[in-house]
Amino acid sequence: MRFSALVERIAGEGADAWVTHYEARRAHERGENVILLSVGDPDFDTPQPVRERAIECIRAGDTHYTPASGRLPLREAIAALHSARSGCAVGADQVVVLAGAQNALFASSLCLAGPGDEVIAVEPMYPTYPATIEASGARMVRVPAPAANGFRIDLDALERAITPRTRALFFATPSNPTGVITSEAELARLGELARRHSLWIVADEVYAGLAPGGRVPSLAAAMSDRVITVGSLSKSHAMTGWRAGWIVGPREFAVHVESLVMCMLFGLPGFVQEAALTALGIAPAAEAQVRDYCGSRREFLLAQLQGAKGLHCFTPEAGMFMLIDVRATGLSGFQFMRGLYESEGVSVLDGGAFGTQTGGFVRVCFAAEEDVLREACVRIRRFAASLPANY
């Protein structure tokens, strides 16, 4: 039997990097002595008021259909958050509630580009971006943010990559995996290019709440007619499993996304939306707690790995990940990841899953308790020290 050409486009890249993570997760579930630092799932619970609100709504029978674009009070709260962060006043009719940021990125891709089009994405990028973008039939064009440039966007390369077929630019700020925040100056150049070439901009701001002050520089106010902002509660409120995310953009764009939702998702569960509304109500305190938690763990990890043989840590500006340069060990990121897990039971992620710019790195999630990070660092240092002195 034959399948659609879509199955090839959604197969994705970097799948081998996740094999180690899932292997480690199964071992952890069996009670084996492994440490998982390979996925961005904060090591603390969703705030209690959020959980209690969901339970209350389930008990009250809030388990029926909801509006496809999301309940009005939740969309109003998201619009208010977006306006406060970006300086761009938007209404609830410009917001669509979706099943997490991943779903929001997928919907954006399908509504902005199609066969014959090109979409630029900044590399390194989250591993699902290629399949998410190319599911539409468009071709993804990679533009580097090189390690040698502190993982900042090569804006000249981006300008050269634009062709008459280019429809949109996707990037994340803060970035996953680098933790780099796109600056005001960089955004100004991106905006100028978008205006000149009539491009859409999709800004993935999932980690914005973890940036200093709970916000990042934004083009939304200056270019409200062409900027799509993606957000979620997964990282800021430790709500990865709730699948609560959103898109904010021009009204016409929101109408098209709502049509897509009608035939794909048909609305998020009501009790999840009510929990999300509660989460947004406590957002300043919840985000500050996560920022403090991640900030202290970042500094702890840096101190624990200082001077480790053959390793160099890249300090992120925000987020919950750290890239470790392992090139001096003579191993690729994939080889280091596999060797570390097989010999020490520590699961990290191969930087090559995020593109060629990070092929000699591994990504470590530091959103974990200090005793876990301490033991992980003992094992990482021991593994690095065991490698041949060929550097």
Asked if the model's pLDDT at residue 13 lies above 70, the reply is no
The residues facing 346 across adjacent strands are 35
Per-residue pLDDT tens digits for 196-254: 999 999 999 999 999 999 999 999 999 999 999 999 999 999 999 999 999 999 999 99
What pLDDT score does 311 carry?
97
Backbone angles phi, psi at 295, to 5 degrees: -65, -45
User: How many Å from the N-terminal Cα to the C-terminal Cα in the chain?
Assistant: 52
**What is the pLDDT confidence band of residue 7, given thresholds at 50, 70 and 90?**
confident
Please say if the pLDDT value at position 389 is more than 70: no
**CATH number assigned to the domain covering 6-45+285-383:** 3.90.1150.10
* CATH 3.40.640.10 placement within the chain: 48-282
Q: How far apart are CA 5 and CA 386, in angstroms?
A: 46
Three-class DSSP category at 80: helix
Q: Tokens 């390793």 label which residue?
A: 311
pLDDT at 14: 62
Contact 186, 143 (CB under 8 A): no
pLDDT tens-digit readout, 77-121: 999 999 999 999 999 999 999 999 999 999 999 999 999 999 999
CA distance 351 to 361: 5
For residue 197, CA distances in Å to 42, 81, 118, 190 come to: 39, 30, 13, 11
Can you give the pTM of this predicted structure?
Answer: 0.93
pLDDT of residue 9: 83
Give yes or no for a contact between 190 and 223, defined as CB atoms under 8 angstroms apart. no
Contact 204, 66 (CB under 8 A): no
Structure tokens belonging to residue 171: 């990037």
Question: What integer is the mean pLDDT of 12-23?
Answer: 77
Residues 128-173: pLDDT tens digits?
999 999 999 999 999 999 999 999 999 999 999 999 999 999 999 9
pLDDT in tens, 276-317: 999 999 999 999 999 999 999 999 999 999 999 999 999 999
**Does residue 390 surpass a pLDDT of 70?**
no
Instruction: Compute the distance between CA of residue 101 and CA of residue 83 in angstroms, rounded to an integer.
Output: 18
Residue 32 binned pLDDT confidence (cut-offs 50, 70, 90): very high
Q: What is the pLDDT of residue 40?
A: 83
Helices (H) and strands (E) in the chain, counts: 13, 13
Q: What percentage of the chain has pLDDT greater than the value 90?
A: 90
- Residue 391 pLDDT exceeds 50: no
CA distances from 276 to 60, 146, 208, 233, 240 (A): 17, 36, 17, 8, 12
Q: Write the DSSP symbol of residue 319.
A: S
**How many angstroms from the chain centroid is the CA of residue 264?**
22
Of 313, 277, 291, the residue nearest 207 (C-alpha) = 291
pLDDT for the residue numbered 381: 97
Q: What is the CB neighbour count within 10 angstroms for residue 184?
A: 10
Classify 48-282 by CATH class.
alpha beta
Name every residue whose Cβ is closer than 8 Å to that of residue 244 and which is 6 or more positions away in sequence: 97, 99, 100, 232, 233, 234, 268, 272, 273, 275, 276, 279
3-class SS letters over 270-313: HHHHHHHHHHHHCHHHHHHHHHHHHHHHHHHHHHHHCCCCCCEE
Using CA atoms, how far residue 131 sits from 9, 72, 140, 247, in Å, is 6, 32, 9, 19
Containing 139, the helix (H) or strand (E) segment is strand 139-144
How large is the greatest C-alpha to C-alpha distance in the chain, in angstroms? 65
Report the alpha-carbon distance of residue 149 to residue 264 in Å, rounded: 40
Q: Three-state secondary structure along 153-195? A: CCHHHHHHHCCCCEEEEEEECCCCCCCCCCCHHHHHHHHHHHH
Q: CATH 3.90.1150.10 in the chain, residues?
A: 6-45+285-383
φ/ψ of 314, rounded to 5, equals: -95, 120
Q: How far is Cα 202 from Cα 105, in angstroms, rounded to an integer?
A: 8
